[in-house]
């Protein structure tokens, strides 16, 4: 891909696979607002949101993403199944385009079948990462109930993606759906004993910790198996006592984590917006301004994640 550092392969570490099943789950409690049949309600909700809602076959959405990646020159993307129980959708996308996608899936580790679901997703379905949302599902990352889930990931060298800090789902808010998240479970310090206990596991923390920036720096200083994902606009910086610029966030993160532990991501979600080229442009401009070498920039933009996942594609 053409970047300020020349032609560098880009592996986006963070995009969401908003499948047909994902949107069906959103419309279920508010169906009466949009129409008297499933198809009418689905299409009407798409018009209300201003989104191109996908058809039932996830391979069609996968093909749409491949076209979008080709348009921007993106080599590979992590797709996260973003509804509970939707791992089959992202697995279908990965199997249809194994050289373009790596699959993660959302898991609620408090459920009795969490370890079995983790092993199936990471084994039978061939996905490469678990996505955990402590504030959404009300658990601490250090809860002993999660030990079998962490072991399942460690056994196959999977990535464990854990969302800490501020958590908002914009589509739910636009639909007026409740989001009973609990910020008390969002402190990344909870991950410290886990990262120490499982040194072989790699943990991906999105959005630079999304507001718990001091804590994420402390965690990174102590735990070399924790990696920062740079995705989204990082609007959380405005809630800091001393507001941070994106340049400042990158500069301090590089000081603590180094260029080998940052993972470029966009947090891309749905169409027609598609892949967040604006995020890419802003972040690569900051990296260039900070004087990163081409090799270090290439590591952040995809080399690190490829190495972590032993990905030769």
pLDDT tens track for 7-23: 999 999 999 999 999 99
CB–CB of 202/128 below 8 Å? no
Pick 2-18+60-307's CATH classification: 3.90.226.30, 3.20.20.140, 1.10.3720.10, 3.30.420.310.
3.20.20.140
180 has a pLDDT exceeding 50: yes
- The region, left, alpha or beta by phi > 0 then psi within -120 to 50, assigned to residue 2 is beta
Task: State how far Cα 295 lies from the chain centre.
Answer: 24
Instruction: Say what the pLDDT of residue 311 is.
Output: 43
CB–CB of 188/205 below 8 Å? yes
Helix H segments across 223-303?
246-257, 277-289, 294-298
Lookup: tokens for 93:
């996308």
- The region, left, alpha or beta by phi > 0 then psi within -120 to 50, assigned to residue 90 is alpha
Instruction: Say what the pLDDT of residue 313 is.
Output: 33
Mean pLDDT of the chain: 95
Question: In the chain, at which residue ranges do the beta strands (DSSP E only) sit?
Answer: 2-3, 6-7, 11-17, 76-81, 101-106, 129-132, 159-162, 202-205, 226-229, 262-263
CA-to-CA separations, 96 to 57, 93, 99, 133, 253, in angstroms, rounded: 12, 5, 9, 27, 36
Instruction: Say what the pLDDT of residue 31 is.
Output: 87
Residues 6 or more apart in contact with residue 288 via CB below 8 angstroms: 4, 5, 297
Instruction: Say what the pLDDT of residue 312 is.
Output: 35
- For the chain, give the number of residues: 313
In sequence order, the β-bridge partners of residue 295 are none
The strands making up 11-17's β-sheet, listed across from edge to edge, are 11-17, 76-81, 101-106, 129-132, 159-162, 202-205, 226-229, 262-263
- Give the mean pLDDT of 142-170: 96
301 has a pLDDT exceeding 70: yes
Residue carrying the six token digits 């169409």 = 271
- Give the mean pLDDT of 169-184: 95
pLDDT tens digits along 23-37: 999 998 898 899 878
Question: Residue 128 — φ and ψ, nearest 5°?
Answer: -120, 0
- CATH 3.20.20.140 in the chain: give the residue spans: 2-18+60-307
From CA 257, how far away is CA 253, in angstroms rounded? 6
257 has a pLDDT exceeding 90: yes
Lookup: tokens for 296:
């270090």
Instruction: Say what the pLDDT of residue 105 is.
Output: 98
- Give the mean pLDDT of 146-166: 97
71, HSE (Cβ side, Cα atoms, 13 Å): 11
Pairing type for strands 129-132 and 159-162 reads parallel
Q: How many CB atoms lie within 10 A of CB 291?
A: 7
Name the CA radius of gyration of the chain, rounded.
19
pLDDT tens digits along 181-233: 999 999 999 999 999 999 999 999 999 999 999 999 999 999 999 999 999 88
Cis ω on the peptide bond leading into residue 121 (within 30° of 0)? no
> Which range has the worst mean pLDDT, 84-93, 218-227, 230-239?
230-239
């Amino acid at each position: 891909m053409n970047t300020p550092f020349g032609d560098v392969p880009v592996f986006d570490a963070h995009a969401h696979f908003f499948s047909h099943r994902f949107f069906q789950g959103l419309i279920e409690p508010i169906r009466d607002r949009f129409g008297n049949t499933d198809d009418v309600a689905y299409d009407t909700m798409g018009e209300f949101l201003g989104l191109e809602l996908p058809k039932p076959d996830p391979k069609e959405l996968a093909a749409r993403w491949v076209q979008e990646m080709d348009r921007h020159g993106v080599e590979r993307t992590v797709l996260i199944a973003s509804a509970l129980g939707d791992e089959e959708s992202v697995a279908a996308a990965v199997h249809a385009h194994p050289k373009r996608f790596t699959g993660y899936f959302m898991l609620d580790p408090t459920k009795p079948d969490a370890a079995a679901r983790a092993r199936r997703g990471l084994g039978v379905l061939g996905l490469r990462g678990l996505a955990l949302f402590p504030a959404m599902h009300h658990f601490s990352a250090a809860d002993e109930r999660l030990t079998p889930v962490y072991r399942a990931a460690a056994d196959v060298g999977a990535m464990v993606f854990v969302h800490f800090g501020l958590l908002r789902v914009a589509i739910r808010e636009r639909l007026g759906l409740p989001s009973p998240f609990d910020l008390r479970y969002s402190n990344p310090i909870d991950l410290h004993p886990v990262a120490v206990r499982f040194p072989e596991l790699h943990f991906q923390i999105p959005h630079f910790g999304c507001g718990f920036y001091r804590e994420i720096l402390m965690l990174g200083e102590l735990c070399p198996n924790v990696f920062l994902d740079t995705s989204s606009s990082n609007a959380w910086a405005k809630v800091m006592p001393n507001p941070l610029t994106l340049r400042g966030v990158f500069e301090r993160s590089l000081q603590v984590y180094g260029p080998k532990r940052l993972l470029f991501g966009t947090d891309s979600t749905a169409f027609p917006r598609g892949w967040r080229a604006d995020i890419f442009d802003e972040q690569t401009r900051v990296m260039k301004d900070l004087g990163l070498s081409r090799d270090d920039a290439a590591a952040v933009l995809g080399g690190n994640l490829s190495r972590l996942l032993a990905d030769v594609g």
